[in-house]
Chains A and B, each alone.
Chain A
């Protein structure tokens, strides 16, 4: 494959997600906190201690409503430095942005050596179709990166439902202790169990199929991954979002991203059906460029 070909193909690969992926402008502050992700995370943790969230009739923090992720971009959870070659890409320039990673301190994914050449604009990025481009789910937490989402809390307190505009994805979060699910049961968005830790909704998810990426750069986890997400209101219209990734197959230690979910208060706003597969014309063009279908091949068959 020639270099020109690769650049054109990249443009095609990224174009569909780009349509939705225009990085929203980063305001100077959100909920009174600075908007560089680590600074936001530290400030928001303090704010959360002082904020008494609105409650549901059963006394739980009321997270219901429409939310949009802020302090996020599609390209890399490790951030896009000013000297990154993709910043000057003629077709799909990436936006300069800080890392979303807040742990570890170097703000890089703590890959085991074998995984380094696969993630981080490695084999995945160079040789495979971004799975999100095939109309699959973005996966956790990528499905919440771009489009609006909606949280519903049935008053029976036994489930929380997190609906996403992104390719009509949803996550049914079973609250409380549940019988375990066998590890050979694998799903695109994982199976989630939730609990309340004070005012924080904690979502623990396993049973992933590992077929999704974390970002456009091809950063990844496998089917042994577990994620722990924490949603904490820091004011009436802002949630501090934290996600910790653990995967003994890929990483040397747990690592964490953090950003804000900001309430969409547009009057009459509703989620819309985002059928993707049903109108998709991009995949055949991308495939013509020689990109392979992912389905975890770079790690599953290693």
Chain B
């Protein structure tokens, strides 16, 4: 009996503690020598935000998707909402992506192509297959340069908030869209991105979007970045403008022969 009771207590203790342990135990994160989460590696989204950031049914060539916008509503000002609708109607030709330009931020984060993060104590660099884009994020405490500057991928300054990497991005053009569904912004776009590793192979990516010319209030997107695990994975390139040109060259060659 005594023996049995001890057994029961032990069993109860295990039952009681087990869920607590499971909850409290964050998976060990890879860390750099200076103790920061090691974000390095090749990452890619697995969602449909490139086509449409909001909830949408399938369209020809567009997978159905659950949106990445918090609450699913984008708080457009009335005139901006009208423009978004026009953009959507004309998207086959009006989307700047069709010209092969740098796609802007955050759009470049969820193009369905891989990108690689490299990290030193003073820099976090993101190199993208898509359009050979590159973001150099300074973590050396320097402020944004004085504007106005219109860069396609903006100016990024980062800092660590505990284990979360926080990036402030300004100095954009008004020439890029947010997705293929006509969502857009102006040159007054201001982003705050938060990168939090939730395990060795996942980053929770959250971005707050602010643009006083287009939206009535700041709003948020969130998604997961997945690590590419293939042992031989390398960052390759996809340069749309040059691929278009290569097709053109083939056409001209065929015509000449």
Chain B residues near A155: list those with CB within 8 A: 32-34, 120-121
A134, B232: Cβ atoms under 8 Å?
no
Q: Please state if B33 and A163 are interface contacts (CB–CB under 8 Å).
A: no
Q: Shortest CB–CB separation between residue B133 and chain A, in angstroms?
A: 7
Interface string of A131-156 (1 = CB under 8 A from B): 00011110000000000001011111
Q: Does B4 contact A (CB under 8 A)?
A: no
**Contact of B125 with A152 in the complex, beta carbons under 8 Å:** yes
Q: How far is the CA of A301 from the CA of B116 in the complex (A)?
A: 35
Known: A188-B237, A277-B241. A159 touches B134 (CB 8 A): no
> Judging by beta carbons under 8 Å apart, are A163 and B134 in contact?
yes
A152, A170, A187, A292: the one contacting B120 at CB < 8 Å is A152
Given known contacts A134-B245, A188-B132, A188-B239, A152 and B101 CB-to-CB distance under 8 angstroms: no
Q: Is there contact, CB below 8 Å, between B249 and A189?
A: no
Q: How far is the CB of B227 from chain A (nearest CB, A)?
A: 14
Chain A residue contacts of B152, Cβ below 8 A: 273, 275, 278
Distance in angstroms from B238 CB to nearest chain A CB is 10
Q: Which residues of A contact B239 (CB under 8 A)?
A: 136, 188
B235 to chain A, nearest CB (A): 6
Give A180 to B249 CA distance when docked, in angstroms. 31
- What is the distance, in angstroms, from A197's C-beta to the closest C-beta of chain B? 22
Q: What string of 1s and 0s marks CB contacts (under 8 Å) between B10-26 and chain A?
A: 00000000000000000
Q: Are A295 and B246 in contact (CB under 8 A)?
A: yes
Q: How many CB-defined contacts (below 8 Å) exist between A and B? A: 111
Instruction: Say whether B82 faces chain A, with CB atoms less than 8 Å apart.
Output: no
With an 8 A cutoff between CB atoms, is B169 at the interface?
no
Within 8-67 of B, Cβ neighbours of A (below 8 Å) are at 32-34, 38, 40
A179 within 8 A of B: yes
Given A189-B237, A278-B175, A170 and B249 contact (CB-CB distance below 8 Å): no
Q: Mark B115-147, 1 if CB is under 8 A from A, else 0.
A: 010111101010100001110101000000100
In the complex, what distance in Å separates the CA atom of A270 from the CA atom of B145? 10
Task: Look across to chain A and name the residue whose beta carbon is closest to the beta carbon of B253.
Answer: A297
Q: Are A293 and B40 in contact (CB under 8 A)?
A: no
A170 touches B234 (CB 8 A): no
Judge if A181 is at the interface, Cβ distance under 8 Å: yes
Minimum Cβ distance to chain A for residue B168 (Å): 16
Q: What 3 pairs across the A-B complex have the smallest Cβ distances?
A: A179-B232, A293-B249, A273-B151
Can you list 9 A-B pairs with a CB-CB distance of less than 8 A? A154-B119, A156-B33, A156-B40, A271-B136, A275-B102, A292-B252, A293-B248, A297-B253, A301-B253
Q: Identify the B interface with A (CB < 8 A).
A: 32-34, 38, 40, 100-102, 116, 118-121, 123, 125, 127, 132-134, 136, 138, 145, 151-153, 175, 231-232, 234-237, 239, 241-242, 245-246, 248-250, 252-253
